[in-house]
Amino acid sequence: MANLIKKIQNTIFEYNLFQRGDKIILGVSGGPDSVCLLDVFFQLKDKYDLEIIIAHVNYGLRGRDSDKDEELVRELAEKYKLEVEVLNVQNIQELSSWKPTEDNFRNIRYEFFERIRKEHKFDLIAVAHNQNDQVETILARLIRGSGLGGLRAMQFKNNRIIRPLLSTRRDEIINYLKQHKIFYRIDKTNLESVYLRNKIRNKLIPYLEKNFNPNLKKTLFDASLAISEDYAVIASVVEKAYRKNKDLSVSGLMKLPILRLI
């Protein structure tokens, strides 16, 4: 499946995700997406003179299954001869104020990745969001209510965070892992429609694909790219206007040529 590595390389070049010689933290959960990310970056490591280490968060929510995820990540680190940093969230769960929400999981994860990045004096953090994740994010933000900025969904590069797999479909990832006989773990809670993202993945998307648009994922992903480009243009025009006129009033903004067309 050399084509997948080539596709990911093209994404890296197109969005200027990293530079030769960069030091990159890889967020690896043990699931298929992050295991694929790890293997691809290992294949690219010498070619681009990269230094990489693995970061893993054990939330402890699934008992032995969570520990098995951690065990797999440690085994992969040994296989690839890479350093691994692990955060065990058990102590956080014991706090009465801690609640197992999607936002809390995300905050814990990114705060840990950033702490490791600073401690090791690394440049970037790579996470394994793929095209399917992007579609789920768009729908979640539509449901909750979001403006143009929110509908851009996740960006290929956002400050120190890079998403090299964002153009890659989940079925491409699974096929790559099967072809190379790379073991990964499945989080069974993803099959449970408890959190909003799981409900979108397991119920809403299949319903929309069956009843409205069988190419829904590609349609929404392409829409996110177009919205992101529109947002970038508008933001650039507004920034230049502000530097020139220092006028951020609604009437002042609406005088800009590009905004009069909206």
Alpha-carbon radius of gyration of the chain: 20
CA distance 35 to 184: 7
**Tens digits of pLDDT across the chain (262 residues):** 469 999 999 999 999 999 999 999 999 999 999 999 999 999 999 999 999 999 999 988 778 899 999 999 999 999 999 999 999 986 665 544 556 677 788 889 999 999 999 999 999 999 999 999 999 999 999 999 988 888 888 999 999 999 999 999 999 999 999 999 999 998 877 777 777 889 999 999 999 999 999 999 999 999 999 999 888 888 777 777 667 765 556 566 556 555 444 4
Q: Give the containing element (helix H, strand E) for 56.
A: strand 51-58
What's the whole-model pTM score? 0.88
The answer to whether the beta carbons of residues 199 and 62 sit under 8 Å apart is no
User: How many Cβ atoms sit within 10 Å of the Cβ of residue 17?
Assistant: 21
Q: Around Cβ 158, how many Cβ atoms within 10 Å?
A: 10
- Euclidean distance between the first and the last CA atom of the chain, given in angstroms as a whole number: 43
Q: How far apart are CA 7 and CA 161, in angstroms?
A: 19
CA distance 72 to 58: 12
**CATH 3.40.50.620 describes domain 2-217:** yes
